[in-house]
Structure 1
Amino acid sequence: MKTDLKQTEPVANTGHMDMKAALIMILVMMAPMLDTTMTNIGINTILKDLNATVNTIQWVTSAYVLALGLAVPLAGWLVDQMSGKRLIVIAQIIFLIGSVMSGIANNVPTLLIGRIIQGAAAGVIIPLATTLMLRMAQGQNLGQLMAVVGLPIVFAPILGPTVGGALIKFWSWHWLFYINIPVVLVALFLVIQNLPTFAPQEGARKPFDWIGFVLIVGLFSGLIVAVTNFSQNDIFGQLTVLGPGLLGVDCLLLYIVYAAKRPERALLPLKLFNNGHFSASTGLLFMSGLMVNGAMFALPLFLQNIRHLSVIMTGVYLIALGAGMLVTRTQVGKLTDAYGAKWVVVISLVVATATTIPFAYFSKTTPDWLILTMLFLMGLSRSGVTIPIMSDSYTGLAPALIPEATVTTRMAQNIGGSIATAILAAVIASYEGNDVATTAMMTQAYAHAFMWIAVGTAVAIIPALFLSVKTKEAA
């Protein structure tokens, strides 16, 4: 234990990242991050192989992202109960079990159970790695730190679709999950051999807020089920829609009352939202799910069903998106540290909106160079949204609030993504209908889906105006 603490002491004193530990953390996060993009590329194949509908198969993505988002609070609590190193090891083993179960699945229910297990483990792994790196960095150079943390986010759109397309092409979609096994085993070895202990902070232990957790689960699960059920019949007044929807709203109201009366126990303290930058960042991260997760759900389906690309060529096309993110990643962190997040995010959202709208009008005959150009420009804008917002969410917060802030922002981002995926699946299903969809029907369905993404991205400009700005003197 003493040796481990000495390893982390220089980092705490200098406020600089231990790059070796940071790179191991990135590898730990890589499998959960890749899993989302690899699965998106295989949605169409899985849909056909399991004879499912778009509405049903969207749960392969939504269940994973929702479980991820809802497990995040556990990470924030568990990091104060046990060694961070031990927690990472346990979460990776659980993720490995979920990957094996998803891989052997031959029906939708089995696949969904495996995906939920994967998502729950990922919900601990990703925020835990971020929290531990933030503790090492001691609040210094947050823009550059978020650029490092964002490496899996950058490489996932590049590697995920390409690797996923190749796995499906030469083996089967089951290998989208089997491929996690060697990645996780290597990460486990490196964690056990090289990471410090990350002992819990003294005096930080407290009982887990099960009441708040249940209310949050009810809130977001109710909303997603309501959206999914509505898309099946397009009838809002049905009990299957109103029941889950009202449950979600009731859980939200109950949580606000509960957190106000028991602030010392609240899972997500309301006092976090007294910070304007944090409030704006959290709202933006929730809305960014439409641009990030929603787009990554719709784009592969569009390329395969409208452009009639093979699964491997779909992955190649999506490299342009990831390449755009890679180009701007480093500069975005520096610009955020120098000038604040506000105008970086606003400009990026404008570009994101402008590059999404054309996809509503693209068809089978649209030139390839135009689609690839739009994907690249879309990627340029995405780095300018996620990295500055994540950085700004910690601006002005007391160090003691960092774990709760990490929990809240991660939940907002991932649950926003699951809701976005459910909404887009509902939009696509409502225009495709229950019968075999014609090309014209599918073209209209994806056109409306991309317009929803564009409108949601444009609306996000409003909260972006409340992000931080740094003067030249302060910079």
Structure 2
Amino acid sequence: MKSDPSERRAIVTALVLIVGGLAVIFDSTIVSIALDTLATDLHVPVSTVQWVSTGYLLALAVTIPVVAWGQARIGGKRLWMIALTVFLVASVLCSLAWDAPSLIAFRVLQGLGGGLMMPLMATLAMQQVAGTGVKLGKLMAVVSLPAALGPILGPTLGGVILTWLDWHWLFWVNVPFCLVGLLLAWRMLPADRPTGRAKLDVVGLLLLSPALVGVLYGLSNAGRDGGFGRFDVVVPLAVGAVLLVAFVIVALRRAGAALVDVRLFARRAVGSSSTVLFLSGATLFGSMLLLPLYFQNVRGETALVAGLLLIPQGVGTLVSRTLAGRLTDRIGARWVAVGGFVLTAVATVPFALADATTNVPWLLAVLFLRGVGLGAVMIPVMSVAYVGIERSDVPHASILTRLAQQVGGAFGTAILAVILEAGIMSAHTPVEVAAAFDGAFWWAVGFTVVATAVAFVLPGRVPEVSSPASAPGRAGAPAAPPRAEAPAGVETSVAASASRPTA
């Protein structure tokens, strides 16, 4: 079926959004390989410079929950441009940082902008397709482009910069994407009106943001000596868990007025998608820790070579996007996700059997297949989260799924870091070091196997975005306001389960 003007407009909106989104993805993947260099150049221990990443992560946690309120208060287009401007200014400031404390402070500012952008990108794209008939798998294949390009170009660019330039240039990479993204957003994003004088759930914010900070901070410290027995792991995790439970209780009582509507977890689409995203985050981010360290510590490669060797995984993720989107629309999210997880698990096993002499071309081929599997997982799981929910609930679904993936990634990274650290501490020979990595990779395989089992609860078919006439609304949900500049016939609900079958 030929695309109509509404479909083309939806795809253009998604493309405009990913230009700015690329800055956030590149920034994360580039900085992750530069911590040792930063520690040396700034004359501080690695434990101090680690806050360049930890501070960014915690700032993300603080801002993600307020995205729905901010969009309702000032409109999605304005919020997107404000967040992108914050990220741009912070990137320039990072490049001008004069010591470790200033760099950490500017990275926190970056995190505030990035925390707004990532869930908002999915929200604006999904709301734009309401009533257009665009299939969710096809749209998500476009929206996921930054996540596919980041692993390909980020480590490579970072390695090149650290080899021939200095670390200040790591942050100038973001500037062109931010500037072009701002120009395109100003010219091409549809103007949406605020939905009213939305009242900020202050109690919810004071509970949820510290809860996320506590959980993520505790998990980020678990990879150090002492693991989960450390004081700075146990206390933040305990406090974060208590605050999170309190937030859920308060949010259930406040219902639609809550900072984040946790009642959406009761929807099969949102609940199952969030659970699988938690596990896929553990699989994806955990492997991002292990793979470069394997090439550097076991095989003795430089950061640049390690980054280049990871390119096949990113290429696999990139090439599987379109096919995964089409299959999701044709046969359903469940089977595409299950197949992707199975392929990811099978392609991780060779690393659990590898040592310093394992054939490199074989490992590169396996990395390509692993990337194909990861790409096949993300699109259906992200798409299915929006099935059967109203347009006004889309921001909340975006926040819930983004937080699930973020916390899952921190959890997986912490677990694998503890396992790897314990193995390396007891290793006395290169063979034993390789064995420590093998054990950590087996745990990564285990995460993937569990995710495969959970993926069976995902809804089968991902329907097209439909009209509200066929979309059962959430009880008590406020009616979604009309979008500014919306063409006649564009409706205000998203992905009803009763929509017409795909071709």
- C-alpha distance in 1, partners of 2:90/2:113? 8
Offset of residue 38 of structure 1: 1.5
Structure 1 237/301 Cα, relative in aligned 2: closer, same or farther at 3 Å?
closer
Match of 2:243 in 1: 251
1:462 equivalenced with 2:453 (yes/no): yes
> Which of 360, 378, 381 is the aligned partner of 1:368?
360
Q: Deviations over 1:28-52 (max 9, x none)?
A: 1110011122222334433554566
Offset of residue 273 of structure 1: 1.6
Offset of residue 445 of structure 1: 4.2
Q: Deviations over 1:210-250 (max 9, x none)?
A: 22223222323223333444544427566444322221221
Match of 1:136 in 2: 128
Q: Deviations over 1:393-452 (max 9, x none)?
A: 111112221111111111222232233334433444444449x99745643443333233
Match of 2:331 in 1: 339
- C-alpha distance in 1, partners of 2:270/2:294? 35
Structure 1 274/471 Cα, relative in aligned 2: closer, same or farther at 3 Å?
closer
One-letter code of the match for 1:157?
P
CA contact (8 A) 2:138 2:326 kept: yes
Superposition pairs of residues 62-461 of structure 1, within 5 angstroms: 62-105=54-97, 107-138=99-130, 140-201=134-195, 203=196, 205-234=197-226, 239-433=231-425, 439=430, 442-461=433-452
CA contact (8 A) 2:65 2:209 kept: no
Offset of residue 207 of structure 1: 1.2
| Secondary structure of the structure 2 residue equivalent to 1:215 | helix
One-letter code of the match for 1:155?
L
- Stretch deviating more after TM superposition (37-46 or 350-359): 37-46
Structure 1 116/297 Cα, relative in aligned 2: closer, same or farther at 3 Å?
farther
TM-score by length of 2: 0.83
- C-alpha distance in 2, partners of 1:423/1:113? 28
CA contact (8 A) 2:11 2:139 kept: no
- C-alpha distance in 1, partners of 2:462/2:223? 48
- C-alpha distance in 1, partners of 2:58/2:168? 21
- C-alpha distance in 2, partners of 1:217/1:426? 26
- C-alpha distance in 2, partners of 1:450/1:26? 32
One-letter code of the match for 2:352?
A
- C-alpha distance in 2, partners of 1:336/1:471? 7
| Secondary structure of the structure 2 residue equivalent to 1:79 | helix
One-letter code of the match for 2:216?
I
Q: Deviations over 1:336-384 (max 9, x none)?
A: 1111111111111111112123223322211111110111011000111
Superposition pairs of residues 16-55 of structure 1, within 5 angstroms: 17-49=9-41
- C-alpha distance in 2, partners of 1:384/1:43? 31
- C-alpha distance in 2, partners of 1:418/1:287? 11
CA contact (8 A) 2:91 2:171 kept: yes
CA RMSD of aligned residues (A): 2.8
One-letter code of the match for 1:265?
A
One-letter code of the match for 2:453?
I
TM-score by length of 1: 0.88
CA contact (8 A) 2:337 2:380 kept: yes
- Write out the 4+ residue segments of structure 1 that deviate beyond 6 Å after TM superposition: 51-55
- C-alpha distance in 2, partners of 1:430/1:112? 29
CA contact (8 A) 2:265 2:271 kept: yes
| Secondary structure of the structure 2 residue equivalent to 1:467 | coil
- C-alpha distance in 2, partners of 1:281/1:66? 23
- Stretch deviating more after TM superposition (278-287 or 36-45): 36-45
Match of 1:5 in 2: none
CA contact (8 A) 2:13 2:128 kept: no
Q: Of Structure 1 and Structure 2, which has the larger fraction of its residues in helix?
A: 1
- C-alpha distance in 2, partners of 1:200/1:233? 49
Structure 1 336/56 Cα, relative in aligned 2: closer, same or farther at 3 Å?
farther
| Secondary structure of the structure 2 residue equivalent to 1:174 | helix
Structure 1 unaligned spans of 5+: 1-9
- C-alpha distance in 2, partners of 1:185/1:57? 28
CA contact (8 A) 2:252 2:263 kept: no
CA contact (8 A) 2:138 2:322 kept: yes
Offset of residue 329 of structure 1: 0.6
| Secondary structure of the structure 1 residue equivalent to 2:194 | coil
One-letter code of the match for 1:447?
D
Offset of residue 288 of structure 1: 1.4
Give the aligned length: 461
